[in-house]
Amino acid sequence: MIFEVLVVSIIAGFVGSLLGIGGGLIVIPFLSIVFKLNMHQAAAAGLVSVIATSSGAASAYVKDKLTHLRIGMFLQLATVIGGVLGAILSGFLPTKILSVIFGILLLYNSFLMIKNRTSDEKPREYSQATKWTKILKLYGSYYDKILNREITYSAQNTFWGFLMMTFAGLLSGLLGIGSGIFKVLALDTIMKLPFKVSTATSNFMMGVTALASISIYLARGDIVYDICGAVAGVKIKLCPLYN
């Protein structure tokens, strides 16, 4: 069984990196449907894989100065709260309900992928820093190698971004995924940050959110150590693909 999990994790890593989605969205259904783990055990394995992937890939983004550490640390307050609440809530929900929620999330993710591929990308004008942005120092810049110039930006709609991050953390703890879709939605669409900064900062946040959530699963005895070890080991080796 461990060998089969290794193979599935490798495939999930490649497909996830090619499609720009988290491998957990592929691994968790396999663990639940094919390998007959319940959704709580599959979600725990998914969180372990998120920790492994984020820990390895986030360092490259930080090195390239795309990750905004201050914004990430500030919004992690929301994702950690949501992640712990989601992990606790998962213990009260039947596995069938969790499977339905996971299926809806997959459909929504597919819709976003189709929408993003069919929509034209338009250049964005970045707004001036607001009062709270200045107080919290949620602004910065990075050098865009493609545009060959420095991009200056500042976070907008801080409250709504914080609220969306809480929801993203809730889904992460509930289903065992990275919730990168909703984290990037909060950073890119709501807070109006550059897409490269949004994806890099989101990746930086995922591991901390998953680490907070996994403690609840550990306390409940939902972790299957052999499965988690196999998934995490493959994800660490595949981390360059996420860079």
The string of pLDDT tens digits covering residues 2-61 is 667 667 666 665 655 445 455 667 778 778 887 788 888 888 888 887 777 776 666 777
Q: Helices 158-175 & 39-63, crossing angle to 10 degrees?
A: 130
Domain boundaries, the chain: 2-242
Confirm whether pTM is higher than 0.85: no
Rounded Cα distance between 243 and 61, Å, is: 7
Type of residue at 216: I
Residue 243 has pLDDT above 60, yes or no: no
**More reliable by pLDDT, 239 or 157:** 157
| C-beta of residue 50 within 8 angstroms of C-beta of residue 22 | yes
Name the nearest CA neighbour of 176 among 8, 30, 17.
30
Q: Strands of 4-163 (E only): list them.
A: 139-144, 149-154
**More reliable by pLDDT, 63 or 208:** 208
Long-range contacts of 60-64 (CB under 8 A, 24+ apart): 60/243, 61/200, 61/201, 61/203, 61/204, 61/243, 62/200, 62/204, 64/200
